[in-house]
Amino acid sequence: EVLTSFPDLKFNVEMKAYSPKFSRRHWGTEIAKVIRKCGAADRIIVTSFDFFMLKELEKEYPGLQSGWAYDDGMSASLKEASEQWFQNPDEDIESFEPTVDGSGFIRWLMESDLVGRSVGATLVDLEWTVMDKDTVEKFHKRGQAVGVYCFHPYDTTFVQTPLSDEEEERLIRRVVKEGIDWVETDDPERMMALLDKIEAGQ
């Protein structure tokens, strides 16, 4: 209903999941069917923390703009997910070494694009805390768009690195300068006001 009611809008559809789970992989299939039925593939990107759903999404509708999301608290949940993956070995990943050494593992997984290559990703969605100064450049060289989240969050339950307003503005200016393709926010009016200032050179 949303896709047909707003035919001129572009959408970022996140297939919600706090961690990957093989048993719900077919949700990706159903999302792909809805996108095809609505003829909306050219105005939708699909992201998820669940690579099983993303894999099935691309199987059902090859060529959709989709990609995996990374955050700074995901490493522990991925150990269980990787074990599920290899209990159902129809995938093309050759090696996967899970560890609960959070930041190092997430950075390795992100920079290697291991999951992205496996699910056929054309983009990546990153929590700002897992980025460094050349992250955007590396993904752009692979031909992948890069999104960053979440700015001006209303729900801070899972925010491990809170920012002051001044710190957040500096960060947004930095990622825009680095060439980020989209930003995610809980306060679009506030974000658009800042982006207008940046575009005006203020």
Over the stretch 165-187, which tens digit does the pLDDT of each residue have?
999 999 999 999 999 999 999 99
Residue type (1 letter), 148:
V
Name the pLDDT band for 79 (thresholds 50, 70, 90).
low
- Across the range 136-163, mean pLDDT stands at 87
> Which pair of tokens denotes residue 158?
């899972």
CA distance 108 to 94: 15
Neighbours of 46 (CB within 10 A): 26
- The 3-state DSSP class for residue 185 equals strand
Neighbours of 64 (CB within 10 A): 23
Model pLDDT for residues 99-147, shown as the tens digit of each residue: 344 556 777 778 888 888 888 899 999 998 888 888 899 999 999 999 9
Partners of residue 11 on adjacent β-strands: 44
- Across the range 76-99, mean pLDDT stands at 47
Please state, rounded to an integer, the average pLDDT across all residues of the chain. Answer: 84
pTM value? Answer: 0.80
Partners of residue 44 on adjacent β-strands: 11
Sign of the C-alpha dihedral computed for residues 102, 95, 51 and 70 taken in this order: positive
